[in-house]
Amino acid sequence: MKVLIIGGTGTISSYVVEKSLEKGMDITIMNRGNHNQFVPEGVEFIIGDINNENETRDLLKDKYFDSVIQFVAFTIKQVERDVRLFKGKTDQYIFISSASAYHKPIEDYPITEETTLFNPYWDYSQNKIDCEEYLNSVEDLNITIVRPSHTYDNKMIMAVMTRRNYEYAHIQRLKDGKPIIIPGDGTSVWTITHASDFANSFVYLIGNSKAYNDVFHITGDKLYTWEQLTNIMAKSLGVEPQIIHIPSDYIIKHMPEMEGPLLGDKSWSAIFDNSKIKSISEEYTSVVGYEDVISDVLQYYNVHGELQKVSKEYETMYDKVIKLYQEK
């Protein structure tokens, strides 16, 4: 089976590449070539920018794939471009959406693939919803939509209050004995999925006619509170976490940038019914927990000093929220 993966070196896609090779698939990845030194042997490369439609059309002009998997499309314009590029060149187009697209606030548990899509709090999620709605209207191309939920690897810091690209600040706060904000009362539960567990199920959708024109979320069955995840990291660091609970609305009042990540995602309990993907996958697993990888996460950041970045602006706001809340 010939498979084209757009991306191929990210948190999820790198594990999908490895598992697909294990299953004997003929894998080609297309990306800009910045991280291909980490790709396993046996993969073919197309070096190019998918956002350059004309260049991509030339690169693919003599190629046909049983399945095309798109890991790096986030807007409706990007999936419209993909339909122009891949209609007639593949039997199946797999779009990676997001479980954050499900209705916020959560209306019912467990979340199934039939749960309404609605997220007015986060542009990222709304854009994914728009992409799905467009793809559902496409004719003459078999579409499979996949919704991951907080899928991680052995390098990811698991924290509810961070700024993108400055996640290391969570570790630094723990080391420095500074308070760690947990939104709400700390009892909401969150589903996290290791990328290896995700890949074990995902590969059974590739080229599978039972998955054509259908949607699946792929999540683990492991549930944690954000307090538990913080305690796992603190224990590995050998420190006692100083946790403070603050309502999400109060946080957002003083840190508006957190509206999407909190009200649009992490403030709500995330509990999923995985029966649909289990009916397709012969290897569904949910075996890796955050406690199993935390030492690798910390070692990764210890080795890569360039990633030990802290946003002074964000940390100032973070500390201000704590001070204001404590003075109420």
Q: How many CB atoms lie under 10 A from the CB of residue 186?
A: 14
Q: How many CB atoms lie under 10 A from the CB of residue 11?
A: 17
Q: Is the pLDDT of residue 167 over 80?
A: yes
**E strands of 81-222, at which residues?**
93-96, 143-148, 151-152, 179-183, 189-191, 193-194, 214-218
pLDDT at res. 145: 98
Task: Specify the CATH number of the domain 2-152+192-218.
Answer: 3.40.50.720
Residue extents of the structural domains in the chain: 2-152+192-218, 168-190+223-270+288-323
Q: Is the pLDDT of residue 36 over 80?
A: no
Is the pTM of the predicted complex or chain greater than 0.85? yes
pLDDT digits (tens, 9 = 90+) for 194-249: 999 999 999 999 999 999 999 999 999 999 999 999 999 999 999 999 999 999 99
| pLDDT band, residue 133 (cuts 50/70/90) | very high
Output the DSSP codes for 273-289: --HHHHHH-SS------
